[in-house]
Structure 1
Amino acid sequence: MSETDVSTAPRPLLLADGRPAARAWSLHPGQRHLNHGSFGAVPVVAQREQQRLREEMDRSPVLWFATLPERVAAARTALAGFLRVAPEDCALVPNASGGASVVYANLTLRPGAEVLVTDHGYGAVTMGAERLARRHGATVRTVHVPLDADEERACAAVVAALSEATGLIVLDHITSATARRMPVRRIGAVARERGIPLLVDGAHVPGLLADPLDGVDCDFWTGNLHKFGCAPRGTAALVARGPLRDSLHPLIDSWGAGEPFPDRFDTQGTVDATSYLAAPAALDFIEATWGWERARAYMSELADYAERVIGEAFAEVMGESAAVDVGMPVGPMRLVRLPAGLGSTRLEADALRDRVARELDVEVAFTSFGGVGYFRLSTHVYNTAADFEYFAERCVPKLAEWARTPGGAP
């Protein structure tokens, strides 16, 4: 936990007219949404902007698609500004996995090379690395990084696995399953010194870090703006700065294929690009209403409180601590250990998530790492302390009951 006072719940954020922040979203009022980190949540102002753009597209599709590349370029420039990167280094892609797929599709490995990943990696991105390796007669090597490893230990684990065979490093900026940061700056410096390309999966980063790529020396970085940035889903950035950037082409060859990077990504045929165009409306809404600095501070303070309240609730029913020692913790994302027998694999964790949503009307995330199940909480500005108090009081006892009942856990 941070050094903030977690004995007192932070005061909820309000809209300018005094209404609760949640009124700016269209989330189901009968559910508790405690899992912003998986799929995000789009404020109504951005939903309306996207719908307005779709109506414009359908009123005059020929004119729309004729002028779309220029519109996408303008949106890309605005989003690059939010990420504090140069527009000429930034392409727009549907999601972080799509950005990784672009890199995999355009990268050549020598036979016998190794792609280095960690055991905290996002499954879909790791699967893409495995397909890349198979295509070139290479292999994937998975590095174990202990959950409680600090920056120095985590860096040492990855660097120790580097060799003459390493053809690519794939590293999370913030991990999905374990809600921790990875030492991308230190590993990036080593990779650049040794001439090894580095792909950073920053899926959760936009909106959480004010300057995501500050000090990060990598060839490729990809992050979702539709998670903590609250943009319409299907909005992500692919940033390329190294010598391989000009070799990147979109997964769809369209009429912009002859343009340089990243302009060639602005033309993607009849793809619905309204998510890109409406994304600045979501970012601007947060900035105008609270300011991103204040929003991040609130999310972190609320996560401190939620981690304590829910951890204590689980500890009471488990008879032992549910606290988790995460080596490089993240502001609004935290882990609390589940009772034994719950969520010990990815499939079991997903099944538990679905059951809680169906039976308890709470949207949450459960993850697993090393055969242990975790509740992964993630906060945003529309969440309040009452959301997590409700989970502690109403859901934790039910989860403990499912863990104790033979066949009760999904």
Structure 2
Amino acid sequence: MSPAPLPLLLPDGRPAARAWTLDPALTHLNHGSFGAVPEAAQQEQQRLRAEMDRAPVVWFPALPGRVAAARSKVADFLRVDPRDLALVPNASAGASVVYGNLPARPGGEVLVTDHGYGAVTMGAERLARRWGGSVRTARVPLDATAEEACAAVLAEVTDRTALIVLDHITSATARWMPVKEIGAAARELGIPLLIDGAHVPGLAEDPLAGLEFDVWVGNLHKFGCSPRGASALVVRSGLRHQLYPLIDSWAAEAPFPERFDTQGTIDASSYLAAPEALGFIERTWGWAAARDYLRELADYAERIVGEAVTKLTGESAAVDVGMPVNALRLVRLPDGLAATRLEADALRDRVAAELGVEAAFTSFDGVGYFRLSTHVYNTAADYEDFAERCVPVLGSWARGTAERH
């Protein structure tokens, strides 16, 4: 049985949450969706914006060099070659870069999975329409092992497969995907692979080690805690010569990744402040210790919330996830809640408004889940409160839904 881990503290003995500006009137259990920015990184971004606005004619000509320096620090954090990494606003933007620059493949198929992030899959569908082709979806059971998930994806490869789009960590289902095995197979088959690693930065020490892929993109603003609008796009194939930013600017003729450093008059302060956020976690607790805490707290939270739902419904709320994530977990909701994505989003909004909890609810294959996520500012008491106060309310809402139907 997983014990409740002791809360993390700041060097001066205050709770870790005091380093954030999160509303104390709310309980924040959904770091995985939009992240949360430490006050130190907020202040750095504000300082940068003030500098920009004091002297914009000085700021913008010098900006490409500063972006290059920031992406070099991000590359060090991800343990990749800085020459392979460009900065983009978010993971979906990185996917759009790929979709917008791949050479035409008339009639080609884009292979995705049924765990894919909706916006990224929509982009794949748009690309397939431009090609006059189609999207092919691999069905991967939630409890599939790495071997089973790999087999399920590769079974859908055809002679028309022109691109594979694969999550590194899935958003709705909180599981890893076997990107190493599928990447090796894709490379052997000569099929480009785009890995959506939106949740990965911060959750793995060396997340790209040993991986074969063409493009990988990961958000720094999720578990990395950077200001929103900062993500890493990593390219490890000749595709780099074909990738251009979504905005054509004066560096269009520069090589990759330098051509991504100039994007007109965008506010690039999120890029420049990202290293401060990453460095804050390292200086304060160390990323290795932070990851251990996230995993231990997620173990505890999954157990106590799951037990509360099981006691309420009389049916097990435990979820067998084939490749579970250290800081993201699923607990099955009572029947009648969050059976679709729209219902899950509506439940999220209702829980925030009526219960004062920022939480994530997801749907997969017609089943609703509470997707808990942990970060250093969370404590065991946060999830104990959810189990004791919120789960009974969710049960009453589920019963009300059942009665209406």
TM-score class, shorter-chain normalisation, is over 0.9
Distance of 1:255 and 1:108 partners within structure 2: 23
Number of the residue aligned with 1:43: 38
Checking the alignment, whether the CA contact within 8 Å between 1:109 and 1:167 is kept in structure 2 is: no
Distance of 1:406 and 1:41 partners within structure 2: 33
Checking the alignment, whether the CA contact within 8 Å between 2:115 and 2:140 is kept in structure 1 is: yes
Is the counterpart of residue 285 in structure 1 residue 280 in structure 2?
A: yes
Is the counterpart of residue 335 in structure 1 residue 330 in structure 2?
A: yes
User: After the TM superposition, which residues 187-206 of structure 1 pair with which residues of structure 2 at under 5 Å, given as runs?
Assistant: 187-206=182-201
Structure 2, gaps ≥5 residues long: none
Is the counterpart of residue 17 in structure 1 residue 12 in structure 2?
A: yes
Q: Secondary structure at the match of 2:100?
A: helix
Equivalent residue in structure 2 for 1:111, among 106, 113, 117: 106
User: After the TM superposition, which residues 287-326 of structure 1 pair with which residues of structure 2 at under 5 Å, given as runs?
Assistant: 287-326=282-321
Distance of 2:232 and 2:265 partners within structure 1: 19
Q: CA deviation at 1:109?
A: 3.6
Checking the alignment, whether the CA contact within 8 Å between 2:336 and 2:402 is kept in structure 1 is: no
Checking the alignment, whether the CA contact within 8 Å between 1:31 and 1:363 is kept in structure 2 is: yes
Structure 1, gaps ≥5 residues long: none
Distance of 1:250 and 1:405 partners within structure 2: 49
List per-residue Cα deviations over 1:153-187 (Å, max 9, x = no partner): 00000111112111000000000000000000000
Distance of 1:312 and 1:381 partners within structure 2: 23
Number of the residue aligned with 1:272: 267
Distance of 2:403 and 2:28 partners within structure 1: 24
User: After the TM superposition, which residues 252-271 of structure 1 pair with which residues of structure 2 at under 5 Å, given as runs?
Assistant: 252-271=247-266
Distance of 2:370 and 2:179 partners within structure 1: 25
Checking the alignment, whether the CA contact within 8 Å between 2:336 and 2:401 is kept in structure 1 is: no
User: After the TM superposition, which residues 67-78 of structure 1 pair with which residues of structure 2 at under 5 Å, given as runs?
Assistant: 67-78=62-73
Number of the residue aligned with 2:371: 376
List per-residue Cα deviations over 1:244-273 (Å, max 9, x = no partner): 111100000000101000000000010000
Distance of 2:401 and 2:300 partners within structure 1: 33
Equivalent residue in structure 2 for 1:168, among 163, 169, 172: 163
Is the counterpart of residue 212 in structure 1 residue 207 in structure 2?
A: yes
Identity of matched residues, %: 73
Checking the alignment, whether the CA contact within 8 Å between 1:109 and 1:138 is kept in structure 2 is: no
Q: Secondary structure at the match of 2:296?
A: helix
Number of the residue aligned with 1:405: 400
Counterpart amino acid of residue 338 in structure 1: L
Q: CA deviation at 1:406?
A: 4.0
Is the counterpart of residue 34 in structure 1 residue 32 in structure 2?
A: no
List per-residue Cα deviations over 1:230-256 (Å, max 9, x = no partner): 000000000001121111000000001
- Aligned-residue Cα RMSD (Å) equals 1.1
Counterpart amino acid of residue 122 in structure 2: M
Q: Which runs of structure 1 show a deviation greater than 2 angstroms over 4 or more consecutive aligned residues?
A: 406-409
Number of the residue aligned with 1:238: 233
Q: CA deviation at 1:408?
A: 8.5
Number of the residue aligned with 2:89: 94
Distance of 1:408 and 1:143 partners within structure 2: 36
Equivalent residue in structure 1 for 2:343, among 343, 348, 368: 348
Counterpart amino acid of residue 55 in structure 1: A
Q: CA deviation at 1:111?
A: 1.5
Give the TM-score of the pair, scaled to structure 2.
Answer: 0.99
Counterpart amino acid of residue 120 in structure 2: V
Checking the alignment, whether the CA contact within 8 Å between 1:109 and 1:133 is kept in structure 2 is: no
Q: CA deviation at 1:108?
A: 2.1
